[in-house]
Amino acid sequence: MPAPSAAAPRHHAGMAALTLGALGVVFGDIGTSPLYALQAVFAADDGAVKPTEGDVYGIISLIVWSVTLIVSVKFVTFIMRADNHGEGGIMALVAAIRRAKLDRPWVKVALVAAGLFGVALFYGDGMITPAISVLSAVEGIEVVAPGAESYVLPFTIAVLTGLFAIQRFGTEVIGRIFGPVMVLWFLVLAVAGIGRLVHHPDILRALSPHYAVEFFVDHPGIAFISLGSVVLTVTGAEALYADMGHFGRKPISRAWFFVVFPALMLNYMGQGSLILDTPSAISSPFYLLMPEWSRVPMVVLATLATLIASQAVISGAFSVTRQAVQLGFLPRLSIRHTSEDEIGQVYVPAVNWGLFVAVLALVIGFGSSAKLATAYGIAVTGTLLIDSVLFLVVVRVLWRKPLWMVVAGVLGFVTVDLLFLAANATKILHGGWFPLLVGAIVFVLLSTWDRGRVEVSAARVEAEGPLQEFVDRMQVMVPPVKRLPGVGIYLNPTRDTTPLALRVAVDRIHAIHEEVVIVTIDTTTTPHVPESERIVFDHLGYDHDGYSHVTLRFGYMDRPDVPQALALARRTAGGLEVDFNPYHATWFLSQITIVPDRSPGMARWRKALFVGMARNAASPADYFRLPGERVVTMGSRIVF
């Protein structure tokens, strides 16, 4: 991860188009928080926060300065400068930490583990966001038609079912309307807030931070508990950073400061002003802020906006899963690319339907957005805290900034994050345990696969033996092994060892192709690898005719299409190195049966879990886009 720079994604679209796209994808989650955030504050702890002048001014001031410090200052101004070759998000920070040179190895292990737990919490957040967003929007039916309460849950379930069902078609077409819909949404938020402030401007005094301080001094316990709901106003802040690779820092920053931030502030202050005049409005301050004639269309618009917010989170879960697979924290999964032009548009069936089941369970189990808000926040604050810690490590270790900057970051960022995390800890017994449980399960899966992959790779290296020795032995073998016409390509995880399938071919079939090409896939800790740097060719010595090795380098955001990469190398090299057609060659895969034993290392239950994950991994033929009709699989056994 380089020092702060102007590094940005390679986009050909204009700044206006990118800014519009960012509005449609990046800000859906944080942009729909006004639907439920303020309502949740007054519903928390059996109405501990009262619709009085002191409490309302204090809460609005807390919201204004929480959004300002966490989103505007921490993320947009500072953390988004930590781009990993244009990409952002907690997984990019994890990749940077893995590259960093630290004096104490255990520190790196701890930081990577913390990053993985942040990734795990993201999945917990990804389950709650669609549930609370769509449910809060549909609950507008109760305001429009008070007798229609029984229709809220069935309609919410129907909307969510449709949302998850269309994921397999991708978001390319739908994405074109996301931006304009969200522009309309933020315009409505701003106009609704301004309409209230024009007649009752006193709430503007809440812009002063002294009201938040006064609220804490007068009611320290209540103010602390209220932070657990105030944090709902910053949910989605991670999305600004995670989606930086799609749009770039400048378009996201401009969309935030010129559109989203002012619209949110105006709407929150408008809701606060309404509550001061009409205390009963705490039941649904968002919808009651709207003129009565506009509430039915607002339910429709809010539902569309929450679907967009949910879509952003679901797509983010697909993207994070893909990065985790590429970096070796998950086994190969079935990942479908839904666009020929945009590499980031992917669909992961296992993640999609897993999220769907969890979201339905949340909607049915909690029943209302107010109750669901009690489970929301703990995963968000945990992720925000981990982002801050990893970012400050990058600032000190990779950017080599002075210590006082890191200390200032700890005091300014980490302290605020810890305060919000502590306030949300009170939610654990009231539903907050759910995202923590999901996070713990995902963390165990990620860490188990990472550890098991290392141990199995070590056992596999020992079983395969050195590649150079194997090639040398083939030159002097008597009688020589039979050579078949054509090209045989063997996939192998390392450059230095012999593919197990190649050993099986020699020892059992006693025949190999005239041209043997061993291909190793190297996934880098950078998001993308230029095509000019994709391939590294090795003849394995001048005397070893018929044997060669190719290393293909892919970034963790690249699509690992192995035949396509070899075909590209063939064209660009003019046949000097890759002088065969990869689509006409025979591909050999090593089918490994992993057998856990009682040897020291991983716990037996984790070994069993690793074996189960390995059995459900996607076929390497599909994952690496191999021509299925030309793939041969040979089996072997690895004990670890």
Per-residue HEC secondary structure of 552-582 comes to EEECCCCCCCHHHHHHHHHHHCCCCCCCCCC
Residue 340 has pLDDT above 60, yes or no: no
Higher pLDDT, 326 or 4: 326
Which pLDDT score, from 0 to 100, does residue 395 have? 92
Q: How far apart are CA 452 and CA 460, in angstroms?
A: 12
Confidence of residue 48 (pLDDT cuts 50, 70, 90): confident
Q: How high is the pLDDT of residue 175?
A: 53
pLDDT in tens, 107-141: 889 999 999 999 898 888 778 888 988 898 888 88
Per-residue pLDDT band at 13 (split at 50, 70, 90):
very low
Q: How confident is the model at residue 555 (pLDDT cuts 50, 70, 90)?
A: confident
9 pLDDT higher than 60: no
Locate all alpha helices (DSSP H) within 104-174, ordered by sequence: 105-138, 140-144, 152-165
Buried b vs exposed e over 209-229: b needs ≥16 C-beta within 10 Å? eebbebbbeebeebbebbbbb
Q: Please state, as a whole number, how many other Cβ atoms lie within 10 Å of the Cβ of residue 371.
A: 17
Give which of 267, 316, 343, 357 is closest to 126, Cα–Cα: 316
Sign of CA dihedral 106, 109, 111, 113: negative
- Its CATH class, for the domain covering 15-431, is mainly alpha
DSSP string over 202-224: GGGGGGSTHHHHHHHHH-HHHHH
What confidence score (pLDDT) does residue 378 get?
A: 87
Looking at the chain, the whole-number percentage of residues with pLDDT higher than 90 is 39
The C-alpha atoms of residue 281 and residue 376 are separated, in whole angstroms, by 22
Residue 479: asked if its preceding bond is cis (omega within 30°), the reply is yes
Total Cβ atoms within 10 A of residue 557: 22
- Position 275: which residue type? I
State the Rg of the chain over Cα. Answer: 27
pLDDT at 3 over 60: no
The confidence score (pLDDT) of residue 46 equals: 76
Q: What would the mean pLDDT of 451-464 be, rounded to a whole number?
A: 85
pLDDT-derived band at 176 (thresholds 50, 70, 90) equals: low
Q: Lowest-pLDDT range, 30-44, 179-193, 302-316?
A: 302-316
Our CA angle for 196, 189, 141, nearest 5°, is 95
CA pair distance 372, 375, nearest whole angstrom: 5
Do residues 348 and 623 lie in contact, with contact meaning Cβ atoms separated by under 8 Å?
Answer: no
The end-to-end CA distance of the chain, in Å, is 35
- pLDDT for 216 equals 92
pLDDT tens track for 261-311:
999 999 999 999 999 999 999 999 999 999 989 988 999 999 888 888 787
Q: Taking 60 as the threshold, does the pLDDT of residue 374 lie above it? A: yes
Q: Are 497 and 461 in contact (CB under 8 A)?
A: yes
Give the DSSP letter of residue 2.
Answer: P
What is the dihedral sign for C-alpha 243, 249, 250, 252? positive
Residue 344 pLDDT more than 70?
Answer: no
| Choice between 368 and 343, residue whose per-residue pLDDT is larger | 368
pLDDT given at position 557: 77
Taking the C-alpha atoms of residue 157 and residue 143, their distance in angstroms, rounded to an integer, is 19
Strand 511-523 with 336-337, pairing: unpaired
Least confident of 59-73, 403-417, 599-613: 599-613
Mean pLDDT of the chain: 86
528 SS3 class: coil
- Tell how many helices (H) and how many strands (E) occur in the chain: 28, 8
Give the pLDDT band (50/70/90) at residue 599. confident
Please name the residue that has the structure tokens 């942009």.
31
Domain extents for the chain?
15-431, 452-639
User: Six-digit token pair at 495?
Assistant: 């450059």
Question: 469 Cβ partners below 8 Å, 6+ apart?
Answer: none
> Both tokens of residue 300?
């429709």
Q: Report the distance separating Cα 240 and Cα 320, nearest Å.
A: 14
* Per-residue pLDDT tens digits for 37-47: 999 999 877 77
Helix/strand/coil (H, E, C) string of 357-402?
Answer: HHHHHHHHHHCCHHHHCCCCCHHHHHHHHHHHHHHHHHHHHHCCCC
Question: Residue 78 has what DSSP assignment?
Answer: I
DSSP 3-state percent helix, strand, coil across the chain (nearest 5): 65, 10, 25
**Rounded mean pLDDT, 472-478:** 80
Average of pLDDT values for 341-363? 81
Residue with tokens 């390392």: 494
Is the pLDDT reported for residue 388 higher than 90?
A: yes
Question: What's the pLDDT at 545?
Answer: 67
How confident is the model at residue 402, as a pLDDT? 93
> Is 587 buried (19+), middle (13-18) or exposed (0-12) by CB count in 10 A?
buried
Residues 232-245 pLDDT 10s = 999 888 878 877 87
Taking the alpha carbons of 615, 620, 621, 622 in that order, is the dihedral positive or negative? positive
Are 13 and 406 in contact by the 8 Å Cβ rule? The answer is no
Indicate the range of 117-121, 463-467, 598-602 predicted with least confidence: 598-602
